[in-house]
């Protein structure tokens, strides 16, 4: 069972951009790894189009995009044509072909004992293959989310989470409920007041002894 801060499992796979080794492909980037139960499904078609349309936002955050669907590369390529036509975008990120379900099992999106290949499977068989993993440059999993098939993913929220994780990875702060980039943040509970005085020169507001808010670093 994968947990937050576990190393993202490595794998070799075919994709719409050729063969890849996942860890080598990640290199020293942040990564958004997102999966789909099957090609030519309606909600996922809108999602992949949205990802393509806001790809520059991920580039600003030094975050690569990579998709996965339980079908073969040829099917992915045909599906990409629909995605680009419907959404008036160019898909510039790779989509992995998980024809033997190996990667879906590796990432706990399907039970390890699941048998067979992609052939003959419906989206309902692969319903749990609708996950998102945010992976940092050290190949550590920083977030995992799985959505139901009928609910399109909110990529504004995913960008918000990436902003939060990147900020809190480099500063001794946490982000409160509904935080957006630029809002005030919380001083980490691991930082005592004496240490905080050296870090946050302009001071902070103490709401409770355990809740101190400060302008975003």
- Active centre residues (catalytic): 44
Backbone torsions φ then ψ of 115, nearest 5 degrees: -110, 170
Cα–Cα distance measured from residue 99 to residue 108, given in angstroms and rounded to the nearest whole number: 16
Cα–Cα distance measured from residue 100 to residue 68, given in angstroms and rounded to the nearest whole number: 12
Do the bridges between strand 185-187 and strand 211-214 make them parallel or antiparallel, or are there none, so unpaired?
A: antiparallel
* End-to-end CA gap in the chain: 35
Report the Cα 131 to chain-centroid distance in Å. Answer: 8
Residue corresponding to tokens 């499977």: 121
* Beta-sheet strand order (sheet of 12-15): 18-21, 12-15, 95-97, 63-69, 30-36, 131-135, 141-146
Longest dimension (CA), the chain: 63
Residue corresponding to tokens 């995009």: 65
């Amino acid at each position: 069972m994968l947990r937050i801060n576990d190393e993202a499992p490595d794998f070799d796979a075919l994709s719409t951009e050729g063969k890849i080794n996942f860890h080598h492909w990640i290199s020293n980037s942040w990564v958004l790894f997102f999966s789909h139960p099957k090609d030519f499904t309606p909600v996922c078609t809108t999602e992949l189009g949205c990802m393509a349309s806001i790809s520059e936002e991920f580039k600003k955050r030094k975050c690569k995009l990579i998709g996965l669907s339980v079908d073969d590369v040829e099917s992915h390529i045909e599906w990409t044509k629909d995605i680009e036509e419907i959404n008036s975008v160019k898909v510039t990120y790779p989509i992995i072909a998980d024809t033997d379900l190996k990667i879906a099992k590796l990432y706990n999106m399907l039970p390890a004992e699941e048998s067979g290949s992609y052939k003959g499977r419906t989206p309902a068989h692969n319903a749990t293959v609708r996950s998102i993993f945010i992976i940092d440059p050290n190949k550590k999993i920083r977030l995992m989310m799985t959505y139901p098939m009928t609910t399109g993913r909110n990529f504004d929220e995913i960008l918000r989470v990436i902003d939060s994780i990147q900020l809190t990875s480099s500063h001794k702060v946490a982000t409160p409920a509904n935080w957006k980039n630029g809002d005030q943040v919380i001083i980490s509970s691991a930082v005592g007041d004496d240490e905080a005085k050296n870090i946050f020169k302009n001071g902070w507001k103490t709401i409770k002894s355990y809740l101190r808010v400060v302008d975003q670093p």
